[in-house]
Amino acid sequence: MDTNAVRVRNLHKNYGDARVVDDVSFDIERGETFALLGPNGAGKSTTVEILEGYRRRSGGEVSVLGVDPARGGRDWKARLGIVLQSAGQAGEYTVREQLRQFAGYYPGARDVDEVIAAVGLEAQASTRIAKLSGGQHRRVDVALGIIGSPELLFLDEPTTGFDPHARREFWGLIRGLKHDGVTILLTTHYLDEAAQLADRVAVITDGGLKAIGPVATFGGEDARIPVVRWFEGGEMREVRDARPAQVVREITDRLGAEPEALEVRRPSLEDIYLDLVGEGTASLPLATAPAGADSEGARS
């Protein structure tokens, strides 16, 4: 069996003379949680819709679970789970009734009550969907996405509108699906969510793949050089340096005391992402950098 659930090579999508996806290539391994990030209009949603079989590509090769999505039939679609940003559940049905209806569409559907328990809606199983809270509605969306025992689950902005507590509960649900072996393609504007859930991250900007790699090393060593911040001379100062302890000693020696509001922080995934899309702090002074360190991830 192919170890990749998704294989994309030189993907293009044009609308007239406008190219919205430009030569994108990446793989997603089976059982992996893969976060596809990018600003609005970057080509992210178009790429995902091509993988789901909802949109035709203009060029390149795409394989999803061993099938070209442009030719995927009913059997192939039954192997996918799709959770859109907003769904249109029938509000007059109860949670259990809606799931039973959807379970009938799949040859290998999961047990309805097991799915209800998995998404934490046991207490609401007999409640009409119209009476659920926003967070509970989202859990129904996920329940409908996994009722068919999908091999690959698409999650599009799954926690938009959640409060912090609900988001963290939802993360636990996604981790449980990963533990069950489900491959997950996640799109989100919450960079902490991608950092918490994803094994690897890819960033699309202007239709092209800007960077790709594991969360722990994303962006390469240069991007992860720590930032030292302190207050001096009536202003907040900061510098990036691969040897932050030495920087702190030098500042302390110069001032004769520990600097005020001292902070040493390694750039987060959000910091690196914002630099990649041109909204970050790439202009910070770089005092030193490790020899031979190269930024990971070139445009494909």
**Tens digits of per-residue pLDDT, 165-217?**
878 888 888 898 899 999 999 999 889 999 999 999 999 999 999 989 998 88
Looking at residue 284, what is its pLDDT?
A: 39
- Residue 153: CB atoms within 10 A of its CB come to 22
DSSP 117-142: HHTT-GGGTTSBGGGS-HHHHHHHHH
Separation of alpha carbons 75 and 105, rounded Å? 11
Amino acid identity for residue 205 in this structure: T
Instruction: Tell me the backbone φ, ψ of residue 40, rounded to 5 degrees.
Output: -60, 135
Domain positions in the chain are: 1-79+151-220, 88-149, 226-265
3-state secondary structure of 234: coil
User: Which of 74, 115, 78 lies closest to 98 in space, CA to CA?
Assistant: 115
Alpha-carbon Rg of the chain, whole angstroms?
23
* C-alpha dist (Å) from residue 249 to 182, 241, 242, 290: 48, 13, 14, 19
User: Which of 7, 31, 10 lies closest to 22 in space, CA to CA?
Assistant: 10
Looking at residue 281, what is its pLDDT?
A: 46
Residue 1 makes CB contacts below 8 A (sequence gap 6+) with 30
Both structure tokens of 209: 């793949």
Residue the block writes with tokens 């995934």: 269
For residue 295, what pLDDT band results from cuts at 50, 70 and 90? very low
Residue 75 makes CB contacts below 8 A (sequence gap 6+) with none
Both structure tokens of 121: 């809606």
**Tens digits of per-residue pLDDT, 39-61?**
888 899 999 999 999 999 999 99
Better-predicted residue by pLDDT, 182 or 90: 182
Amino acid identity for residue 62 in this structure: V
First-residue to last-residue Cα distance in the chain: 26
Ranges 13-22, 118-127, 166-175, 248-257: which has the least confidence: 166-175
pLDDT > 50? residue 297: no
Separation of alpha carbons 26 and 48, rounded Å? 12
Separation of alpha carbons 277 and 79, rounded Å? 34
pLDDT > 70? residue 18: yes
Separation of alpha carbons 48 and 187, rounded Å? 9
For residue 234, what pLDDT band results from cuts at 50, 70 and 90? confident
Q: By percentage, how much of the chain surpasses pLDDT 90?
A: 50
Residue the block writes with tokens 């329940």: 143
pTM of the model: 0.78
pLDDT > 90? residue 226: no
CATH number for the domain running over 1-79+151-220: 3.40.50.300
Better-predicted residue by pLDDT, 219 or 39: 39
- Residue 191: CB atoms within 10 A of its CB come to 18
Looking at residue 122, what is its pLDDT?
A: 93
Separation of alpha carbons 236 and 264, rounded Å? 13
